[in-house]
């Protein structure tokens, strides 16, 4: 995480404000696998990929709600400041 302290300490900016936005992404099993596969570091083939899918299915089965959904929860912080000039 990048520190906001240099922005707050800078004489170039004033009135530093933070806005926080929460988001919850609901995913069924197929969407969870698709979301995971969009990451470049996920195994693309072989036994490692098969084990990865099996582990994802296990996690989904353990944590899904009554509608078959699991949730990825995000929190984004946006810092705004006024130019001092």
pTM above 0.75, yes or no: no
pLDDT at 85: 79
Residue with tokens 């069924």: 28
Ranges of residues in the chain whose predicted pLDDT is under 70: 1
Q: For the chain, percent helix, then strand, then coil, each to nearest 5?
A: 40, 35, 30
Distance CA 33, CA 61 (A): 13
Mean pLDDT of the chain: 94
pLDDT at 2: 79
């Amino acid at each position: 995480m990048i520190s906001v302290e240099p922005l707050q300490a800078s004489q170039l900016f004033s009135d530093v404000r933070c806005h926080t936005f929460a988001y919850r992404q609901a995913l069924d099993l197929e969407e969870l696998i698709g979301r995971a596969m969009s990451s470049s570091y996920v195994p693309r083939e072989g036994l490692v990929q098969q084990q990865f899918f099996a582990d994802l299915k296990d996690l989904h089965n353990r944590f899904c709600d009554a509608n078959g959904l699991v949730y990825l929860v995000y929190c984004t912080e946006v810092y705004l400041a006024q130019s001092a000039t």
